[in-house]
Amino acid sequence: MNVLIVDDELHARKLLADYVTKVSFLNLIKTCMNVFEAIEVMQKERIDLLILDIQMPDMTGMEFARSLNQRPIIIFSTAYSEYALESYELDVADYLLKPVEFPRFLQGVYKAKNRHEMKFPSKEAISLQNTEIVHSVDKDNFIIVKDGTKIHKIDYSDLLYIEGQREYVTFHTTQKNITALSVLRNLEESLPSEQFIRVHKSFIVSIKHINTIEGNVAKIGEKIIPIGGSYKESLLSRLNR
């Protein structure tokens, strides 16, 4: 998703830009200090996600959002809570209160990602809709994923994490990514629980590949994985065994 950040505060722009670069499915196009710079960028570039401050000189973020005939997905980032109700009249994806912590930012961009996928399903997802996927599991060593034309053998030792994306999942490994029709619930029940654990409604991770946990996120390699509130206690309990 192509991202444009608009905020008149330099510190806020730098912080949000840093957050964007940490999320693999986001591509930062530019940061702008006012809506006039943003208009120039949007005339030249396709913007999927607009992260927008509200209180800015000349034109507020709210006024700017209302002026757009074709709005990208919008997340407001502001120090003022009183605009929250008005913002949702614009059907924004989320409303972040400054100072924005990374876990809260991550929640917001995943909401935006879900909206984007519903509106613009990937070619991969479309091609999978007519393909029957079955998987079989060896409790000790590997999982077999069959997509009708290819059979993939994924060793557990190479499997970093599994990401659920509505009706399909992506297996992220040390060598490649493989997408197949399935649901996380089925995989959660069949994968060996001593090696893998559900940490979010959209993620199952390999316990051995977790590098660090900080707050409500886990780091696997360079990937930041959100930890859902209902999953955190069981994850910490597992790590403490």
Burial of 8 by CB count in 10 Å (0-12 exposed, 13-18 middle, 19+ buried)? middle
Region 9-32: what's the mean pLDDT?
94
Residue at which a domain ends, from 53, 86, 119: 119
- Predicted confidence (pLDDT) at residue 210 exceeds the cutoff of 70: yes
Q: Are residues 228 and 167 in the same domain?
A: yes
pTM of the model: 0.59
Least confident of 105-119, 146-160, 223-237: 146-160
Please tell me the predicted confidence (pLDDT) of residue 123. 52
Q: Are residues 153 and 235 in the same domain?
A: yes
How many structural domains is the chain composed of? Answer: 2
Examine residue 99 and say whether the peptide bond preceding it is cis (omega within 30 degrees of 0). Answer: yes
- Predicted confidence (pLDDT) at residue 227 exceeds the cutoff of 90: yes
Where residue 169 falls among pLDDT bands split at 50, 70, 90?
confident
Task: Read off the CATH number of the domain in which 201 is found.
Answer: 2.40.50.1020
Q: Are residues 138 and 108 in the same domain?
A: no
Give the span between the Cα atoms of 241 and 236, in whole angstroms: 9
Q: Are residues 143 and 206 in the same domain?
A: yes
Residue 153 contacts residue 173 (beta carbons within 8 Å): no
Please tell me the predicted confidence (pLDDT) of residue 63. 92
Q: Are residues 177 and 99 in the same domain?
A: no
Please tell me the predicted confidence (pLDDT) of residue 121. 57
Where residue 166 falls among pLDDT bands split at 50, 70, 90?
low
Residue at which a domain ends, from 119, 139, 162: 119
Return the structure tokens found at 232. 């955190």
Task: Read off the CATH number of the domain in which 108 is found.
Answer: 3.40.50.2300
Averaged confidence pLDDT in the chain: 86
Q: Are residues 43 and 110 in the same domain?
A: yes
Q: Are residues 150 and 218 in the same domain?
A: yes
Q: Are residues 68 and 134 in the same domain?
A: no
**Residue 109: domain span:** 2-119
Residue 2 contacts residue 49 (beta carbons within 8 Å): yes
Please tell me the predicted confidence (pLDDT) of residue 150. 72
Q: Are residues 112 and 211 in the same domain?
A: no
- Predicted confidence (pLDDT) at residue 128 exceeds the cutoff of 60: no
Please tell me the predicted confidence (pLDDT) of residue 190. 84
Q: Are residues 113 and 199 in the same domain?
A: no
Region 208-231: what's the mean pLDDT?
91
Q: Are residues 26 and 61 in the same domain?
A: yes
Q: Are residues 142 and 181 in the same domain?
A: yes
Give the span between the Cα atoms of 188 and 204, in whole angstroms: 7
